[in-house]
C-alpha cells in the first residue's frame, strides 16, 4: 500500500466491498490516494473574466429584474472547473453586483462574511449595523458575519462592485443562517464615517472591548491604501514575488480584516516581472489600475483595468505588468493561517 497507488481489486475483495456497501461502509484503501494527496488537487482552474464583457451582461440583467425582486442582482463568477457550484475557488464565492439609480437591495443578514470591491459608479452606499458608508472606486468594504446590511444608490449612474463571500466555506461547515429585515432599509443610528474615525486613525477608543472577529472598520478607502503604496515605492524595496504588497488589517488584533477571508493590495511597477510564486490559498485578483499579463500554471492571461482573474491553490503565478499596476486580491489565507494549514513556495526568493 502506498499513498499514490490503489491495491488491485480481486473478485473476493470486490464481493466484500459490495457486501459492506449496503451497510454504508467503504474501504479506505480504495480511496486513500484520492483523498489524502501529496499536493493540492482540485477542479479549480485558472481563469480571467473580462470586466467590460461581464458588465454588459450585468447591465442587461438590469433590464430584466430589479434589485428588490432579485434580493441581490448579481452575476456569479463561476470557476470553469467548478460549474454549478457558485464558487470561484473551492472555498470562496465571487459575483458582480449591480445597483441601479434609485434602487435599494433590501436589508438582510447571514452567517456568510462579505467583502465588496467597488468597480463602477461613485457615491452609492451600503449600510452595515446602523451606519452608512459611501462607496468610491477601489474601496474595500466589509459586511461582517451576522451584520444587517442593505445597499442603496441615490446617484444617477449604475453602481457595480465585486462581491467576495465565504459561501462555500459556510456550506462546508453547514453553518448557514440567514434572515430578511422587515423593512427595505435598516434604521441608521450612527453618522457616516463614525467607524473610520474611531478605528481607522491608528487609535482605538480607550477601554474598547472587541465583541466580533471582524474589523470594526467596514470601509477601507482606496485613496488611503493607494497613497500608502505610492509613498512606499519611493523606497524602492520591491519583493521579488509580490512587488509591494500590503494586507488589510483588523486594527484591534493585527490580524486580517475578516476571520475567513484575507485581502491584499499590491503595486507592481511597469516592466517588473515577479518571481514564480505559489501558495495554498487560491486567490482572486482584481486589476485596479494598469494592464499586463499573468501566467498561472503555464497559462497566460492578459488583463486590463477591472478585469478579474483567479489562481488555484499551489499553481505558480508570474505577474508581468505592462504599465504601473495595482492589484487587489482576496483568498482564504485568513482561515488557513488560523488552522495552521497555509504554505507558500517562493522558489528561493
Quote the least distance from Cβ 126 to ligand GTQ, whole Å. 8
**Class of residue 201 by CB neighbours under 10 A (exposed 0-12, middle 13-18, buried 19+):** exposed
- Interaction between residue 310 and ligand GTQ (CB under 6 A): no
Nearer Cβ to ligand GTQ (97/266): 97
Quote the least distance from Cβ 77 to ligand GTQ, whole Å. 10
Using the rule CB under 6 A, which residue among 78, 163, 324, 332 binds ligand GTQ? 163
Quote the least distance from Cβ 167 to ligand GTQ, whole Å. 7
- Interaction between residue 85 and ligand GTQ (CB under 6 A): no
Q: Which of 150, 210, 211, 172 is nearest to 332 (CA)?
A: 172
Q: Which of 313, 331, 309 is nearest to 260 (CA)?
A: 331
DSSP letter for 68, please. Answer: H
- Interaction between residue 146 and ligand GTQ (CB under 6 A): no
Nearer Cβ to ligand GTQ (96/326): 96
- Interaction between residue 262 and ligand GTQ (CB under 6 A): no
Using the rule CB under 6 A, which residue among 48, 54, 147, 165 binds ligand GTQ? 165
Cα–Cα distance for residue pair 288/104, rounded to 1 Å:
26
Residue listed under C-alpha cell 467576495: 164
Side-chain half-sphere of 242: how many Cα atoms within 13 Å? Answer: 18
Element housing 42 (H / E) = none
Nearer Cβ to ligand GTQ (131/163): 163
Quote the least distance from Cβ 251 to ligand GTQ, whole Å. 24
DSSP letter for 193, please. Answer: T
Three-state secondary structure call for residue 165: strand
* Binding footprint of ligand GTQ on the chain (CB under 6 A): 72, 74, 95, 97, 110, 114, 149, 163, 165
Amino acid at each position: 500500500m502506498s499513498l499514490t497507488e490503489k491495491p488491485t481489486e480481486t473478485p473476493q475483495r470486490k464481493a466484500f466491498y459490495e457486501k459492506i456497501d449496503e451497510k454504508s461502509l467503504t474501504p479506505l484503501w480504495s480511496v486513500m490516494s484520492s483523498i489524502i494527496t501529496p499536493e493540492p488537487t482540485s477542479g479549480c482552474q485558472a481563469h480571467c473574466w473580462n470586466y467590460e464583457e461581464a458588465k454588459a451582461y450585468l447591465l442587461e440583467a438590469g433590464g430584466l429584474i430589479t434589485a428588490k425582486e432579485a434580493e441581490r442582482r448579481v452575476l456569479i463568477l463561476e470557476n470553469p472547473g467548478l460549474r454549478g457550484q457558485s464558487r470561484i475557488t473551492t472555498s470562496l464565492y465571487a459575483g458582480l453586483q449591480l445597483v441601479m439609480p434609485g434602487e435599494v437591495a433590501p436589508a438582510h443578514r447571514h452567517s456568510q462574511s462579505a467583502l465588496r470591491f467597488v468597480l463602477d459608479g461613485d457615491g452609492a452606499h451600503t449600510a452595515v449595523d446602523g451606519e452608512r458608508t459611501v462607496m468610491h472606486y477601489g474601496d474595500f468594504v466589509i459586511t461582517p458575519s451576522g451584520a444587517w446590511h442593505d445597499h442603496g444608490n441615490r446617484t444617477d449612474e449604475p453602481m457595480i462592485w465585486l462581491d467576495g463571500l465565504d459561501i462555500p466555506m459556510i456550506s462546508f461547515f453547514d453553518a448557514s443562517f440567514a434572515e430578511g429585515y422587515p423593512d427595505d432599509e435598516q434604521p441608521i443610528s450612527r453618522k457616516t464615517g463614525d467607524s473610520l474615525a474611531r478605528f481607522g486613525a491608528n487609535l482605538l477608543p480607550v477601554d474598547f472591548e472587541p465583541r466580533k472577529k471582524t474589523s470594526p472598520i467596514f470601509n477601507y478607502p482606496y485613496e488611503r491604501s493607494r497613497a500608502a503604496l505610492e509613498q512606499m515605492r519611493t523606497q524602492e524595496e520591491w519583493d521579488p514575488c509580490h512587488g509591494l504588497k500590503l494586507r488589510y488589517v483588523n486594527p484591534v488584533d493585527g490580524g486580517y480584516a475578516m476571520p475567513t477571508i484575507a485581502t491584499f493590495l499590491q503595486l507592481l511597477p511597469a516592466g517588473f516581472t515577479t518571481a514564480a510564486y505559489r501558495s495554498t490559498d487560491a486567490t482572486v485578483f482584481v486589476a485596479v489600475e494598469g494592464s499586463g499579463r499573468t501566467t498561472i500554471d503555464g497559462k497566460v492571461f492578459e488583463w486590463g483595468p477591472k478585469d478579474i482573474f483567479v489562481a488555484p491553490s499551489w499553481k505558480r503565478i508570474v505577474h508581468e505588468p505592462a504599465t504601473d499596476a495595482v492589484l487587489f486580491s482576496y483568498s482564504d489565507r485568513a482561515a488557513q493561517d488560523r488552522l495552521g494549514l497555509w504554505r507558500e513556495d517562493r522558489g528561493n526568493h
